[in-house]
Amino acid sequence: MSSLFEGIIEAFRLIISLDPDLLQIVFLSLRISGTALIIGSILGIPLGTYLGLKPEKKTRLINKVIFTLMGTPPVVVGLIIYLLISRMGPLGVLGLLYTPWAMILAQVSLATPIIAGLTMVGVRAKGSEVVETARSLGAGPGLAAWTVVRESRIAILGAVITGFGRIIAEVGAVMIVGGNIAGKTRVMTTAIVLETRRGNFELAIGLGLILLILAFFVNSFLYNIQRGDSGN
């Protein structure tokens, strides 16, 4: 209990003192997860929209694959990416292992199925109605698809929020492919694991609290956009 209390005090001390090591870890976490979220959205939203507009019976197999990938354990994703980008792997020549790009790759692999799957569900709710209305008003295929994305934006934003939640809190995959190298690939979650192993519970709890506060602000920002857009 005292560790928890001291951890909270430590968190505030670190925040107020603008500890450079902490700031470096926080910014790297945001940079990696932010980049992964953008790439995951660029891949997942069009894929989910495309699948959501297709008749369900034609996409059953791919739906099952996406839903399975949504629940894949991060360590499994990390292991697969590790094998792909390790020196002996097919992408070894790119030299990505233990770099932030390897961590981004792992997080993209985790976020994309979630964004695609939840977008698909959101679009399926009334996507075909929107397409028909758009087409009846003279929209070509491109404008009709864009209209569907606009009309499903609340569901899509929900998918992006969920994707962000999945990757910002993830530790297994980034630990395997990033290596938790100080100043290079150490992010908040891997730092928490390290400090816990070292017995620095106050610092680990402090980092955990900062992670929660950060997640709260990012999610609040996205939630406010979503809520404002729903007219409530």
Partner 1 sequence: MKGIRKVYDREVLRVDNLALRKGQIYGVIGPSGAGKSTFLRIINLLTSPDSGSILIHGKEVPRNGAERLALQRRMSMVFQKTLLFRDTVWNNVAYGLRARGFDRTEIGRRVRELLEQVGMTDLSLQRADTLSGGEAQRVAIARAVAFEPELLLLDEPTANLDPCNIEMIENMVVKLNSSKSITVVVVTHNIFQAHRIAREVIFINQGNIVEMGETEQIFSAPREELTRAYVEGRMIY
Binding mask 213-232 for partner 1 (x = CB under 8 A): ----------------x-x-
CB of 158 to partner 1, least distance (A): 15
Kindly state the smallest distance separating residue 226's Cβ from partner 1, in Å: 12
135 binds partner 1 (CB under 8 A): yes
Q: Give the one residue of 139, 169, 215, 222 binding partner 1; rule: CB under 8 A.
A: 139
CB atoms within 10 A of CB 21: 12
Alpha carbon 4 to its chain centroid, in Å, reads 28
Interface pick for partner 1 out of 31, 38, 79, 126 (rule CB under 8 A):
126
Question: Is residue 4 within the footprint of partner 1 (CB under 8 A)?
Answer: no
Q: How far apart are CA 19 and CA 28, in angstroms?
A: 14
| Interacting residue with partner 1 among 143, 181, 182, 213 (CB under 8 A) | 143
b/e code 94-125 from CB counts within 10 Å (16+ = b): eebbbbbbbbbbbbbbbbbbbbbbbbbbbbbe
Tokens of 195: 């400090």
CB of 156 to partner 1, least distance (A): 12
| CA distances in angstroms from 142 to 60, 94, 118, 153, listed in the order given | 25, 36, 21, 17
Q: How far is the CB of 143 from partner 1 (least distance, A)?
A: 6
CA 177, distance to chain mean position in Å, is 16
Of the ranges 32-40, 126-134, 156-164, 179-187, which one interacts with partner 1 (CB under 8 A)? 126-134
Residue ranges that bind partner 1, judged by CB under 8 A: 126, 129-130, 132-140, 143, 147, 150-151, 153, 229, 231
